Chains A and B, each alone.
Chain A
Amino acid sequence: MHELGITRNVVAIVAEAARGRRVRRVTLEVGKLSGVMSEAIAFCFDAVVQGTPVEGAVLDIREIEGRARCAACGIEFATKTLLTPCACGCRTLVRLQGEELKIKSMELAEAA
């Protein structure tokens, strides 16, 4: 259950970048193959933001589907899991997307 620590990192990074301004929205990109559950981050978020400039912010999580390129035949395809092989049978893949763990943006209340 590493999502609590991950959520703490999110809030710490956003709170620091906000430099005292109130945060209205936090947008994350979480790859479906990243090993992190979006639901668990959302669950921890409300608890972790208490007493920070991020308190009350809306959490927006964009999940990113897995995609890979086959090292043998070069075809790009969707990888539903880490075990999805290429149609040619090859399992040596270059992961293109789906492992993101990123804070994309934050929306701040503008200083008057």
Chain B
Amino acid sequence: MCGQCGCGGESEITLLDPQAGRETAMAREASPGDPHEHVHADGTRHSHAHSHGDHGDHPRGDHSHDHGHHDHGHGHHHGHDGHQPHRHDHGGVRAPTVVVDLDAAILSKNDALAAKNRAWFAGREILALNLVSSPGAGKTTLLERTIRDLRQTLPLLVIEGDQATANDGERIRAAGAPAVQVNTGTGCHLDAEMVARGLMVLKPGVGSVVMIENVGNLVCPALFDLGERAKVVVLSTAEGEDKPLKYPHMFRAAQIMILNKIDLLPHLDYDVARAIANAHAVNPAIKTFLLSARTGEGLASWYDWLRGEAAAARNAAVG
């Protein structure tokens, strides 16, 4: 992704079905803002040929609403008081304008698709979990271990999100679960549409558990509802105890925190109690599991929770 404004075409999103060995490009509905070639108009990757020089005029921060850059120079205040629409007639200097109230949620499209996914899961009595963490916290290892331990009793399927490579999808498949790999290209998170497309390939059965392993990133995935029943944030003892304070949005959005790699504790100065206290400072209701996906310590209570939630998903559809 471009370091300056985060731009990058979403056209590079691909879906890989490791079972069939088939890779498909995921075409998006074209939106007016989509192609952004101007950014690279001179052929260099991060040149930003377009001018950002006028940003100084943008109202922001404590913006005063003075409308000083309106080029028709009228003196009245707009007010923005919600009594819309109102006309602005400027005597022919410029075409009159009309203000239209929209009151639209910016993420409404994603939220609507997420609601569709959620209904789809509910109708099939599927438990869907959205696993998030920073890169390297152990999401894939935890999934591999969970699949190996539970596959006889609990049908698990995985949607793997990464910017590139099919490595994690292959690991999941080797562990014994069907997987679909979504490569987001330059994207830093999965969205509801990618999950919907992944489900079309994966076709999870009634009563199964769908684990959505998000792109390793503690920032952006917090904002995008995928239709999951819960977000599970994985933290590892090799990271700082203050991660919940540094990334409060994610720890607030999550219902579950897994503290992984507890087998390393004897070698670290990690303060488990402080990490949990920090998570509770952001989200008093967050439930925590301490475990090591490598040694298996602590996995039993995670599995109990998982079985309980899967059973609840099956019963919810009945009731």
Contact = CB atoms under 8 A, between A and B. Distances in A.
B100 A92 contact: no
Report whether over half of chain B's contact residues are helix, strand or loop; otherwise say mixed.
loop
Interface core residue of A1, A15, A60, A63 (most chain B CB under 10 Å):
A1
Nearest to B30: A12
B60 interface: yes
A10 B55 contact: no
Q: For this complex, into which size category does the number of interface residues on chain A fall?
A: 35 or more
B284 A7 contact: no
Nearest to A48: B33
Nearest to B191: A5
Contacts of B273: none
A112 B191 CA distance: 40
Contacts of B252: 82
A58 B87 contact: no
B206 interface: no
Interface in B212-239: 219-220, 222-224
Interface residues of B, number: 65
A18 to B, nearest CB: 8
A57 to B, nearest CB: 11
Interface core residue of B6, B103, B191 (most chain A CB under 10 Å):
B6
Interface in A47-73: 47-54, 58-63
Contact of A108 (B36, B58, B100): B100
Given A2-B220, A82-B252, A83-B282, A48 B36 contact: yes
A62 B63 contact: yes
Closest 5 CB pairs of A and B: A1-B6, A52-B32, A12-B31, A48-B33, A2-B220
